[in-house]
Structure 1
Amino acid sequence: MPVPAEGTPRVVPRSRVLTWLHHQWVRHPRWSMALKGAVAASLAWLVGLVAPPPFAEYPYYAPLGAVVAVSSTAVRSVKDSAQAVGAVLLGAVLARVVGALAVPVVVEIAVVVAVALLFAGWRLFGEMGTWVVTSALFVLVLGGAEKVEYTVAFAGLLVVGAGIGVAVNLVVPPLPLTPSELALDRLRDVLADEVDVLAGRLETEGPLRAQEWQERRREVAPTIARARESVAAAREAARANVRARRYGG
């Protein structure tokens, strides 16, 4: 096999580069989520542009719905989208009710934010509760004299964008198996190290005291928690996921 001359740049085989890229891709699920989010948001924007009035006047709200749907698992994307739409509608209603009061704008904003924040903590909306505040402020401040038209466009485009995001997620559903495997491998290594340390301690100094046991547990607890979170995420992602059938074991 010929040896490259000194100073000649080293050529990395294409197969090794592709293997490395694939390894990084499956190891970091957020990369695929970012790509799907970009595709879904772009499609939602294009749909918003060609939509009939008044939707075409606010096309930028469609990508928001797409991002909400794509930034979760296939099953959760449907739930998150429904919660976000419900929160948006509630926020719009709050803005309409408060906007009808004959009070200064600063008072309207204060009342809307206070009430919306209370509803944002409603378990019905889950993590999408902040959309109540966002929607209320948008409708109140940006809606102007056409609050009804603005509300319809805002909520409608959000629904359309969320539908596109859900569709993209169902076509290419996330399945973060590699991160869960890495987390379990890390937990195995940590527990093996702990067993070795404990074995050495028993041979030299005898059993650990109660306080030492607690310290050992606290050191291992973060690794256990990360492993549980990764496994739970993988199990949730496997629901309604056609890709999961290939990994039935």
Structure 2
Amino acid sequence: MRAGYLARRLAPRMDRRSWEDRLKITVKAVIAAVAAWLIAKHLVGHAVPYFAPLAALLGVYPTVARSLRESVGYGAGFLVGAGLAVPVGIYIGPNAAGIAVVLVIGLLLSTWRGFGNQAAQVAFTALFALLVGGREVAAYVRPRLDDVVIGLAVGLIVNITIFPPLFLRRGEEAVRQAREYVKEALEVLARSITAPDGDWRPGWDEEEARLGFIIDQARYATEQGRESLRGNPRALLWGFRPWSAPRSGLRGFRLLADPSGQWAAPRRMTTLENTAAYLRSIAGTLREATETGSGEVRLAGPFRERYAGLLGVLAELVGCADGAAEEEEIRARAWERQRELERPFAEPGTDVAGIWDPHKELLRLSRLTLTALSP
């Protein structure tokens, strides 16, 4: 059982969309690497420009924004590492002491967060340049730096101009699936409250685990979609502005402006995350109000029925498509049921014995849920 689960988790995804993405990345990486090699070798005249295709690969990532970040990080790491290797090679040389110096300083410098995922390039470049260049490290580094610039530029140009990725449909589909599942989870919990016999908790535990997985996957898809908008020229075809206009008193444009405010999916995803969080809290309150042995919920019978009805209306509201004509009517019906349930507990002298009333806690959580679902 465990081995099969691990095999499914580690196996590559086989759906058509994943293979299309991989194929596009592969084609762009090959084009960028070959073009960078040809430019550096035949136009610039370097004999063996091996850093050009290597650097070009760093300009080809699933999103334009990440490609730019990784390219800048690699270029900065290479520049700092090469700058460290030059004085060490000249004054100490490619020996044990020189290796120790470049590694100590390089590893300390690589802790700067500005290098991002390319922090290891500082120590690697410094050590590589020192060992290969030796005492003539300056003469070795100069053409290599040209190769890196060529490779990074070619990689970015290829990634931006050849079907730059835009993951909006994927994010919107993930939000739609998450909305359907949150609706289903609300319906399951509503049925669990009114179950005449049996323990509702084992069934809900499985449902809650699936809910968390679906929400996490949908958030990842929307974040990927938002990331793909930044600096992407294809976003213009969708009516987005991937570059922000200059603010007052400032010149130029921000290349990696976040245009997610123009895309509704991240906001909808936040609403669904809040709803799912309140739903888990409602389930946790019901768990606290459940008999340990029998699994019976310690709530007044009429309240249980009416609260289950409220959860059912909330499920309808979650399931409404954005801008649906019946959305306002369902929301008004939900608020009406919420206020009806609250009315008996708003009067003086309705506090139960003890420090915790599950009825009031459930009503507080359902009100928070309804507020999150209201514009």
| TM norm structure 1 | 0.75
Distance 1:104 1:169, change over 3 A: closer
Q: Which has the larger radius of gyration?
A: 2
Is 1:84 the counterpart of 2:74? The answer is: yes
The within-5 A match list for 1:187-198 is 187-198=178-189
Aligned to 2:54: 64
Contact 1:26 1:178 in 2 (8 A): no
Distance 1:28 1:194, change over 3 A: farther
Aligned to 1:175: 166
Contact 2:71 2:152 in 1 (8 A): yes
Supply the AA of the counterpart residue of 1:46.
Answer: L
From 116, 132, 135, the counterpart of 1:126: 116
Deviations for 1:152-178, whole angstroms, at most 9, x for unmatched residues?
122211111111111112212211234
Deviations for 1:52-74, whole angstroms, at most 9, x for unmatched residues?
45xx1331110112111112522
Q: Which 10-residue stretch deviates more, 39-48 or 114-123?
A: 114-123
Aligned to 2:146: 156
Contact 2:112 2:119 in 1 (8 A): yes
Supply the AA of the counterpart residue of 1:60.
Answer: Y
From 6, 9, 27, the counterpart of 1:35: 27
The structure in which a higher percent of residues are helix is: 1
- The alpha-carbon deviation at position 26 of structure 1 amounts to 7.3
Deviations for 1:191-229, whole angstroms, at most 9, x for unmatched residues?
3442343223112169988xx989865553343223222
Is 1:236 the counterpart of 2:227? The answer is: yes
Q: Which runs of 4+ in 1 moved over 4 A?
A: 25-28, 205-209, 212-219
Q: Secondary structure at the match of 2:165?
A: coil
Count how many residue pairs are aligned between Structure 1 and Structure 2.
224
Q: Which 10-residue stretch deviates more, 172-181 or 214-223?
A: 214-223
Which runs of 5 or more structure 1 residues have no equivalent in the other structure?
1-22
Deviations for 1:14-56, whole angstroms, at most 9, x for unmatched residues?
xxxxxxxxx9357742331221111111100111221445xx1
Q: Secondary structure at the match of 2:59?
A: helix
RMSD: 3.2
Which runs of 5 or more structure 2 residues have no equivalent in the other structure?
1-14, 240-262, 264-375
Identical aligned residues as a percent: 33
Higher relative contact order (CA 8 A, sep 6+): 1
C-alpha separation in 2, matches of 1:213 and 1:115: 55
